[in-house]
Structures are given as C-alpha cells and as structure tokens.
Chains A and B, each alone.
Chain A
Amino acid sequence: MVRLTFAAALTSLALALTPITTFAQDAPSPAAAADIVPASLPEVPRNQTVVLAWGVSSGATIGTTNPWSVPPTYTHQEGNNLLWEPLMYFAIYKNEFIPWLADSMDYTDDTFTTLVIKLNAQAQWSDGTPVTSKDVVYTFQGQIDNERLQYHNQFSQEVASVTAVDELTVEVKFNAPAPRFKFEVLTEKFDTGISIVPEAYLSAQADPTAAPGRDEIPHSGPFNVVAWNNTQKILDLRPDWWAVKAGRVAEPAVKRVIMVNILNQPIDTVAQRIVNNEFDSSVDMRAQIIGTILEQNPDVQSWTGKESPYGYLDWWPNSLWVNTQLEPYSDPNVRKAISLAIDRNLIDEILYEGADIATIYPFPLYPNLQAFADSPEVKAEEAKYEPGKFDPEESAKLMTEAGFTQNGDGLWEKDGKTFDATIQAFETIHGDIAPVLAEMLRNAGFDANVNFGTDAYQNMTDGKAGLYLFGHGASLFDPFEALNLYDSDFAAAAGAPADAGRFSRYSNPEYDALINEISPLDSSDPKFIAGAAKALGIYWRDTIDIPVIQWLHRIPYNNHYWTNWPSASNPGLGTNGAFWAHTGMLVITGLQPSGN
C-alpha cells in the first residue's frame, strides 16, 4: 500500500510537470482580456454623467471595442455604439434616413444595381485623420473576405464590386437588383446595420478579427472608453468630435456615460435603484414593474409618458412557431386550431393592462408597415381568414376532424399520445407571457408546458416537437423581409438545423412565386403591395405560424438629471429609445441637463 501510494503521488507529480505542449490545443491563444484601468479619472459631477443599468460584458469580452472582433466577443450594445458610426442612421418614427458619415447614398439606376456613396468631408477618426472612401472600401471588402463577419453572406452574394471613385465617393455594384441593401445592410437602426471601421489601424493588425481594440483603436464616435471592468464601463466625451463641426448635432451635454453591470440582480432591485435616482435609464422592463416605477418616482417617464403601454414598438413581434414539416403540426387545420385556442383580448387584459399588444402580423406596425396593413388588399385577406379569432369550439371541431380525441384529462390524444404543445421560450423575456399561453392551450385540451431551458433555442433550430415562442427579426420598413422568412429557400430539410429565426420550414411553390415576383420591386410599387398582401393571405390561410404579441421595449427614463429622452410625444431625431441599439448614440448625445 505504501509503495502504491508513493508511486501514485510520484505519477501525479510527474503529470503536473509535463509540459502543456504534449496535448496543447490547436486554438491560437489570443490576447487575454484585461480590465481597462485609468491612470487617473477626472472628476465629472453627477449632473454631467449618465448612469445606465445594463449587463456589461454579459455577452462580450472586457476590452473588446473592435467591431470586427470575431463573435461573440464584440457587441455594440454595451456602449460600443458610442464609438462607432454608420454611413446613415434610420429614424424609424419619422420614416427617414439620417445621413451620418455619408452625405448621400443613392441608387443611380432604376434597377437597383448600382449604389453611390458620398462621404462627409469633415468626418474624422479620433486620431485626427479623415474618414475616407478607403475606409469604406476596406469595411465592405472585409465583409466579403471574412466569412465570420456578420454581413458576409449579404456582401458575398449580392455585391459584385466595391470601388473608391475618389477620396469621398464609393461605388457599389450588385449582382442582381438589390433595392433593400441600402436599408438592411448599410443603414444602422435597432441592432442591425454596419459600422465603418478604420482601415489604417486594422490593416496594420496581424489579424484584424482578433485585435481587441481596447482604448487604442481610432473611432469616429463621440466617446472614449476610459475604464472597463467587471462591474462598470466608463466612457468620456472627447472634445473633438467631427459631427459637431460638421453640424450634424450640437455639442453633447453628457460628459460621461457609466454603464453599470447589474449582473443578475433581481429586476425589482434595479427598479428600486431607478426610483432612487441612482440610474438614469435601464434595460427594458415588464409592464407591471415599469408601471410601479412611474408611480413611485414622478421624475421617471416612459416612451408613452405615464400611460400604458409604456413602451415603443420593437421590431420583434412574437409568434408561436411550429415545424410545419412535422406531424401533427404539418396539418394547417391543427395550426389553425392552436390559433383559435388563444384569447388575444385576454392576453392584453391580464398582461398589458388592456393595451393593444396582441397581434396578427409577423411584422411590427411601424408607419410604413401600418400603411401596408391598412391597405384594402390586406384588409380583404384579413376578413377572409380571421387570423385573430378566438373560438374554442371551432378549435375543438378542427382537432376532431384532424383525428384527435379527448382523453380522460380532457387533453387531445391520437394513437395514445397527447398533443405535445410544449412551448419553447426564454425566461428573461417570456417569463410572463409563456405560462399564460401554456395555460390557455391546456384549457383548450393541448398538452402544454413551458421549457425555459437554455436548450430552448436549440430545440427550435432542430425543429423538435412543440411550439416555439420567438420573434420575427425581419421587417422594419416594408413587409418583404418578414414574408421572405417563409420562402422554401429556407425550408431546411428534416434533421438539418433551421436557419437563424426561420423555424417554419414552410414550403409552398405558390408562395415562393409571389415572393420572387415582389423581390426586385420597390416597396412603393402597387404591384409590390398587391403581391405582398396575397403572400400575407397565404400566411393567414395556412397559419404558417401563430402570431401572438407585438414586442414592446418598456424603458424607464429618469428626468431627474437629464431631460429630452425620446418619447412618443418627443420623438427627437425619430429613432427608437434604446440606449443599447445602434441609434443609442443619438439618444445619449441629445440629452439635456435638467438643472438638478
């Protein structure tokens, strides 16, 4: 025994001393993430500071400010949107482009195959060098060459060439008509669109997608990162922002932005800290909580003031998606039966204090989309298919016709198995709605349950049995992108994973023909509207997925130190009001001191 013990101890010692190279991983060892620690931090009074509650580095790596840094280490959401700027922003509530680094960006032909970008002559990087066509070409070419970057697919498939015509002019040629490329890819709004990166700095890096950027990468935005650790990220205004000189905006009043990491603190603690004026704004909240915040602190406002529904419309309306290739969800009547079991009025009443949140559309009703939804073509389809109807009896009838019988527990059953209506969802955002939906379905005889596990998304992608509560991150301006989600090009075969956010696996030549017909058309074209309305009709007829609620961002804005937060009555530049979206920079730089 002694000898054995001794031998074992010796072995373990030897193992411990074995050079790690014997089994060394193939992975390159990238620069370690380290805190950014300021040598000294100048005092900035509280009334010149904006304090925002957010999960700093919940999804990214400390010190990563380079937008090209391979995902998932970079995110624009944690204050990096204050460093980077696009060619143009889009003001969703004014339905207009906001020229930024570019003065103009126009298709030069009717077929949407050439786009000319003209940069602002005063645009400058933080190191004082101008932003030129070279940077734009480098940004675009990088997307084409590097398949890990976010817009690689769009660029490599649609773009034929990118050329710098002169210092400030770039010409992009497309392989086929690309009427939506300017908006979808080149314009920043919400969480999509592309930022222009500095060619001089990145091309000097050994691997531009591995350089963290930290506080040294030249950027065009108004702030510098001065401190960043696990609990907070501090950004200070730099005095020489080009956009002020170029007349884009007035000199920002906010001298410092502090992103506070709320880690996984319970939401009511965060809410209380807003009430205490500790935070000026925070992550979005559920309806009940923001209602209580508004009650407790008169200085706090929401997008809709003190009134319900408190939030602005996000671009992510939620449906119960199903895998339309899988029995029994493959039967359109079964899908319709699920839809008929959902009482959308009751959802509005119990979850949203009566606000009109439940929806029947796979896209958000922004001005242009609202016009589309109100068009006589769409109204006719809606009257025909009654997509929002609540009728348990008809639901039961459809289920019986589909061959289901009710078992002793009152649950639909076929071949001895109950109908699997497990709702795959995400606790942090669906914690209120998912249990309610499950219970509604259960009352109508569907064996419903909720899965909030981290595997929920995986199950959606794999097309497992059940219902998937997920949004449509597609249309903002016209319905094309949302309708395109159901094109059979994206109908992944059984066993193959579904494309991101396209879980239906729906395939219908009739539908595809309509999509192909409207794809090259501009959204103001009457033929586009007619075709899109027909496609939407098929979406309702076949109940491809079951639309449930519009998605609202309910963000508390504290006016104690800062005013001029965007709201329905004060749209400002017309962007949405999230400080973490790409357009958040416009929100922060537009704030005015309250005098407190």
Chain B
Amino acid sequence: MNVKIILKRLLFLVLVIWAASTIVFFVPRLSPRSAIRERFGELARTGGFSPGDMEKLIASMEKQFGLDKPLLEQYFQYLNNVIHLDFGYSLSKYPSTVTQLIAQALPWSIGLLLVTTILSFAIGTVLGAIAAWPRAPGWLRSTATPFILLTGVPPVIMGILLVFFIGFRLKWLPLGGAYSVGIVPTFSWTFFFDLMRHQILPALSLILGSVGGWVLSMRGMGVTIQGEDYVNFAEHKGLTGRRIFRDYYLRNAMLPQVTALALALGTVVTSAIIVEGLFGLPGVGTLLNLAIRANDFPVIYGVVLFITIAVATLMTVLEFIYPLLDPRIRNQ
C-alpha cells in the first residue's frame, strides 16, 4: 500500500461526504416549506408559547440561522461548517448545538447499535460458515435455519412483538426507558445491571432479524470458497478440518463480510430510529425521530450527515486494515 492509494481513498472519503452534504442541503430547500415557521406553529399550538408578533420573531430567527442569504452563499457557508463538524444550532433546543445533541445521544446508540451489530455479525458469520461447511454435523448446520426465516422481519415489527409478549404479557423485562426512573447514572454495578436490563429487548429486536442476513451471505461465500483450488489443496495436504475451516475458509470468506459490515452500520441506524423510539431510549435514532416531528432541520441534516461521515470513515478505515486480514493485498 503506497501513498497514492492512501490519498485516493481519502479523496474518495471527501467526495462521499461532499455528495451527502449536498443532497442533504438541497433536497429540503426545493420545497417551499419554512421549517422555522412550522416550528413556532407547533409551539403556539401546544400552548407553551404565544408570541406577540410571530412574524418578526421568525424573521429574526431566519436571520440568525442565515436563511435570509442567497442560496449559494448558504451552501458554501454550510459546506464550510460541515468541514468543521459544525452543524449549527438546533431549532427546537436552541441554544444547544446539533453537535452537542449528537454527542449526548451518541453513547446510547453506540452502546446499542455497535453491540447488536457486532453480535449479530459474529453469530451470523459463524452460523453461516457452519451451514456451508460440508463436514459440520447436520444438527449444527441447521441451527441457522430459524434465523434465516426471521430475515425478512423488520426490527420494528420484532420490537412491537417483543414488547407485547415479553413486556406487556409476561412482564419479564422493563417496558422502556434507558434506566430506572429517578436514579442518577453512576459508575456502579447496580446501575450497570439496571442499564443492561433495559437494553435486552431493544437489542433482541435488532439482533433477531439481522443474524439471518449474515448467515446467508456467509453461507454463499463459504460455498464458493469450497470450490477454490487452495481449499482442495489444503484438504489433499491432509490439514485438519478445524484448521482448514479457520485459516483457509473462514478467513477468506470473511473479507466481503467485513465490507458489508461497514455498510450495515449505516443502515442499522435507520432501524434504530424506530426501535429506540419504541423503547424510549435517548439515542441518535430518537433524536432524529423527534427532530423529524419537530421539523428541526439542522438536527435532521446533522444526524444524517454525521452517520454518513461515520460510515464512510469506517469504510475507509476498513480498507486500510484489509491488508492485515488478507496477505494477498498486503503484498501487492
């Protein structure tokens, strides 16, 4: 891997971020709606507030948010802000900045999403590899089947069903909230266990439906690799099954899986919007959902962009660590 490739990847990253920013900037501005007026309308309706002269207030807010300037100027200003990871102020939670809100919500989502994604990835990959491995015993190969059947189930539906059956009916686990009411987060075991109890159902709703996808792609990959010469060669060399499974088979089949993992981190966030809402967890998904409801557009763009940047960066990082997984690329 040389400088040229690294630079190329970095340029690619910049292009991805630019494309996402541009789409996110222009799409909402094609519609004639005024987010600020809508926001104040919402407030006026709920009775929390009834300003004397709403129009004046709106004009002053628009000025404050730079919405009175020409579109192109706004665009460049916006790009510049994005480069500095500055997504501006939240409309509904002014004077909090979008970056602050994301920072507040992020630990919750990382906790939930990263753990569930990695868990389902790990379970799925192993089960998929086993399912494709002709030497594995039959019962082991079929453990993956129930997960495959659940593949089509969107996490929302899974969540709704879990809440209904385990939360409402069986009352085994808390119905929602990030931790129990009235306690203050501390670094203690009691708090940690309380936290975990509240995370089980949301985690399950995300995991159950997504394991199958990994099983399928891994199985496909595994079957392909079985035909490869190097596996045949290893078999003829008389290597043990376990060794072939681990070094020749799993390792080679993993590569495309890892790429897919980076992409999945992006899409799984979408599921989190609703799953977090379902369970009342204050993560990025809830932040986005509330922002959609409040039409808090700086937050919407901020979250969407942030996720894009995070995913694109992760992919780039993965490309850099590819060689560590695959000696063929390392030696190129």
Do A's and B's CB atoms come within 8 Å in the complex?
Answer: yes
A151 located at the interface, meaning its Cβ lies under 8 Å from any Cβ of chain B in the complex: yes
Q: Quick one: closest B residue to A16, CB to CB?
A: B83
Chain B residues in 8 Å Cβ range of A71: 40, 43, 49, 51, 57
Query: Complex formed: what's the CA distance from A256 to B182 in Å?
Result: 10
Residue A569, interface by CB 8 Å: no
Cβ B65 vs Cβ A27 within 8 A: yes
Among the stretches B170-178, B218-226, B227-235, B316-324, the one at the interface with A is: B170-178
Known: A20-B84, A26-B63, A234-B182. A72 touches B92 (CB 8 A): yes
Shortest beta-carbon distance from A52 to chain B in Å: 10
Task: For residue B191, give the distance in angstroms from its CB to the closest CB of chain A.
Answer: 13
* Contact across chains for B286 and A9 when beta carbons are under 8 A apart: no
With beta carbons under 8 angstroms apart, the residue of A77, A230, A265, A455 that contacts B48 is A77
Q: How far is the CA of A316 from the CA of B294 in the complex (A)?
A: 21
> Of B38, B48, B84, B176, which contacts A59 at CB under 8 A?
B48
- Asked if A426 and B45 sit within 8 Å, CB to CB, the answer is yes
Q: Are the CB atoms of A16 and B84 closer together than 8 Å?
A: yes
Residues of A141-180 at the interface with B, using a CB-CB cut-off of 8 Å, are: 147-154, 156
- Among residues of A, the one whose C-beta sits closest to the C-beta of B54 is A500
Q: Does B187 contact A (CB under 8 A)?
A: no
Instruction: Please report which residues of chain B, range 62-94, place their CB below 8 angstroms from some CB of chain A when the two chains form the complex.
Output: 63-66, 76-77, 80-81, 83-84, 86, 88-89, 92-94
- Min C-beta distance of A380 to chain B, whole Å: 34
Residues of chain B contacted by A5 (CB below 8 angstroms) = 4, 7-8, 11
* In the complex, A204 has a CB within 8 A of chain B: no
User: Considering the chains assembled together, what is the distance between the CA atoms of A58 and B64 in angstroms?
Assistant: 22
Residues of A contacting B50 with CB < 8 Å? 150, 192, 473, 500-501
Q: Which of A37, A49, A269, A454 has a CB less than 8 Å from the CB of B280?
A: A269
- CB distance A150 to B175 under 8 Å? no
CA distance A4 to B104 in the complex (A): 39
- When the two chains form their complex, are residues B64 and A152 in contact, meaning their CB atoms are under 8 A apart? no
Instruction: Kindly state whether residue A516 has any CB partner on chain B within 8 Å.
Output: no
Judged by a CB distance under 8 angstroms, whether B326 is at the interface is: no
Task: Give how many A-B residue pairs fall within 8 Å (CB-CB).
Answer: 216
**With a CB–CB cut-off of 8 A, which chain A residues contact B80?**
15, 18, 20, 22-23
Name the contact of B293 in the complex, choosing from A316, A454, A458 (C-beta under 8 A). A454
For chain A, the bracket of interface size reads 35 or more
Contact of B141 with A by CB under 8 A: no
**A256 and B10 alpha carbons, distance in the complex (Å):** 54
A37 to B7, CA, bound (A): 45
Q: How far is the CA of A406 from the CA of B45 in the complex (A)?
A: 36
Quote the shortest CB–CB distance from B95 to chain A (angstroms): 4
Q: Are A147 and B47 in contact (CB under 8 A)?
A: no
A296 to B: closest C-beta gap in Å: 11
Q: Do A51 and B84 touch (CB < 8 A)? A: no
- Which stretch from A28-36, A243-251, A356-364, A390-398 is at the chain B interface? A28-36
Whether B39 is near chain A, meaning CB under 8 Å from some CB there, is yes
The reply to whether A150 and B280 contact each other, CB–CB distance below 8 Å, is no
A51 to B181, CA, bound (A): 8
Residues of B within 8 A of A272 (CB): 167-168, 175
Bound CA–CA A232/B182 (angstroms): 8
- Complex Cα distance, B53 from A147, in Å, reads 8
How many angstroms between the C-alpha atoms of A192 and B42 in the bound complex? 16
Closest B residue by C-beta to A268: B168
B105 touches A72 (CB 8 A): no
Please state if B181 and A260 are interface contacts (CB–CB under 8 Å): yes
**Cβ 8 A contact of A76, one of B41, B48, B182:** B48
Residues of B within 8 A of A461 (CB): 37, 41
User: A368 an interface residue at 8 Å Cβ cutoff?
Assistant: no
Q: Which of A40-98 contact B (CB under 8 A)?
A: 41, 46, 49, 51, 57-62, 71-73, 75-77
B47 engages A191 (CB within 8 Å): yes
Interface centre among B46, B47, B54, B57 (most CB of A within 10 A): B47
- A220 on interface, CB distance cutoff 8 Å: no
**Is residue A258 contacting chain B, with contact meaning CB distance below 8 A?**
yes
Evaluate contact between B100 and A33: CB separation under 8 angstroms.
Answer: yes
- The answer to whether B96 touches A72 (Cβ under 8 A) is no
Decide yes or no: A231 and B48 within 8 Å by CB, A32-B97, A59-B43 being known contacts: no
**B289 proximal to A (CB < 8 A):** yes
Partner of B46, one of A57, A59, A192: A59
A150 to B81, alpha carbons, bound, how many Å?
A: 33
* Shortest distance between the CB of B170 and any CB in chain A (Å): 12
Alpha-carbon distance between A72 and B47 when the two chains are bound, in angstroms:
12
Chain A residues packing against B (C-beta within 8 Å): 2, 5-6, 8-9, 12, 15-16, 18, 20, 22-23, 25-27, 29-33, 35, 37-38, 41, 46, 49, 51, 57-62, 71-73, 75-77, 147-154, 156, 190-192, 227, 230-232, 234, 256, 258, 260-266, 269, 272-273, 276, 278-279, 316, 426, 454-455, 457-458, 460-461, 470, 473, 497, 500-501
B interface vs A, CB < 8 Å? 4, 7-8, 10-11, 14, 33-34, 37-57, 60, 63-66, 76-77, 80-81, 83-84, 86, 88-89, 92-97, 100, 104-105, 163, 167-168, 171, 175-179, 181-182, 184, 277-282, 286, 289-290, 292-295
